[in-house]
Every structure is written in C-alpha cells, then in structure tokens.
Amino acid sequence: MGDDQFLLVRIQQHDREALAEVYDRYFDQLYRYLNYRLGEPEVAADLTGEVFLALVDALKVGRPPRTSLSGWLYTVARNLAADYIKKKGRTVSLIEDMVAEEVSLSDQVHLSQLAFVLRKAILQLTEEQQHVITLRFGQGLSLAETAQIMEKSVGAVKGLQHRALASLARFMPGGEEDDG
C-alpha cells in the first residue's frame, strides 16, 4: 500500500518515470480485468490503453487521482467497459475463466448451456455488482484489494458480493432440470 501511495504522490508531481512505472505495474491487471468483462482481447487492449490516456489527460488538466491510484484506474476501466457494452449492445462473457480447460464433451455441452444462463443472470446485476464479481472472481482479488479498488470498506464489499451472489442464485434455474 505504501508503495502505491508513494507512486501516487510522484505522478501528482508529474514524474515521468512514475507514470511509466504505473503503466508497467497496472497494464496487465487492467487488461485482464477488461478482457474478463468483455471477452474480446483486442477491445480489452484498446480500452486498457485508453485508461492510461485518461490518466495522462487527468494529469494535464490538474485532476490526478487523489486517494487511490488503483481505485481510480479500475474505475476508469469499469466505466470504459460499461460504455463499450452499452454502445455495442452485446452480452458479456464472464464465465470463460471459471471452467477447467479439460472437460468431457457432455460437460462442455452442459457448461455451454449454463454459461448462457449465467451470462443472462450477470447482465441483470447492477453495474456495481458486476464490478465486484469481476474483481473477486475474474481477477481473484482479496476482499481487502477489492475494497481498496472500489474505495469501500471490506464490510461493504462483503455485503455487495453477498447481494450479487444472492441475485445470481435467484436468476439461475433450480437444481433439477425440467424436461417438460
């Protein structure tokens, strides 16, 4: 945490080396976050670049991140993803990283059916709930790391995650499949 705060102070002072360090430190994380949210590697790479352009623009106009560098970067990434989704009107795949690579054919069929239902369910969550699910399960971040990025308390993140998972459970079909 201290290192991140020191980096924040350095970029607020327009330290070019610090800006390069921010890029090196956060590019891969932000790319994975955006790719997980969007399921489109090329778009994720473009939007990751836009996050850093937004940081440079914020520095130019004298409005750098004030408290949490990672929180600011992830908020920009989240907003860019949301704008892209709205513009494209497409569904977002948030399940690909949740399944094992080697599964049987019957499991693949079942997972593809489940993936469709899960995608629909995730899109019914609030933007903030989608964000917490992506950070916690897509990025594998701890509650503390997620809380820092979202600029919330750990308790608030726990509550948000709980509500998101409860909503997902309501949107998913029951354990037994009906054959009609």
Map out the domains of the chain as residue ranges: 1-90, 94-180
pLDDT at 110: 60
pLDDT in tens, 125-175: 888 988 898 888 877 888 888 898 888 999 999 999 888 888 887 877 663
Between residues 112 and 65, the one the model is more confident about:
65
88 has a pLDDT exceeding 80: no
45 has a pLDDT exceeding 70: yes
pLDDT at 177: 37
Residue 97's pLDDT band (cuts 50, 70, 90): very low
**Is the distance from CB of 68 to CB of 151 less than 8 angstroms?**
yes
Mean pLDDT calculated for residue range 96-101: 47
Axis-axis angle for helices 69-88, 143-150 (nearest 10): 80
pLDDT at 153: 92
Overall fold of domain 1-90:
Rna Polymerase Sigma Factor; Chain: A (1.10.1740)
Residue whose C-alpha is closest to residue 49's, from 34, 36, 39: 34
In angstroms, the Cα distances linking 80 to 27, 38, 105, 111 are 15, 11, 36, 29
Query: Under the phi-then-psi rule, with left for phi > 0, alpha for psi from -120 to 50, and beta for the rest, what region is 103?
Result: beta
Specify the amino acid at residue 157. Answer: V
Helix (H) or strand (E) holding 53: helix 41-60
89: burial class by Cβ within 10 Å (0-12, 13-18, 19+)? exposed
pLDDT in tens, 12-25: 888 889 888 999 99
**Is the distance from CB of 135 to CB of 146 less than 8 angstroms?**
yes
What's the mean per-residue pLDDT of the chain?
A: 80
pLDDT at 103: 54
Q: 94-180 is classed in which CATH architecture?
A: Orthogonal Bundle (1.10)
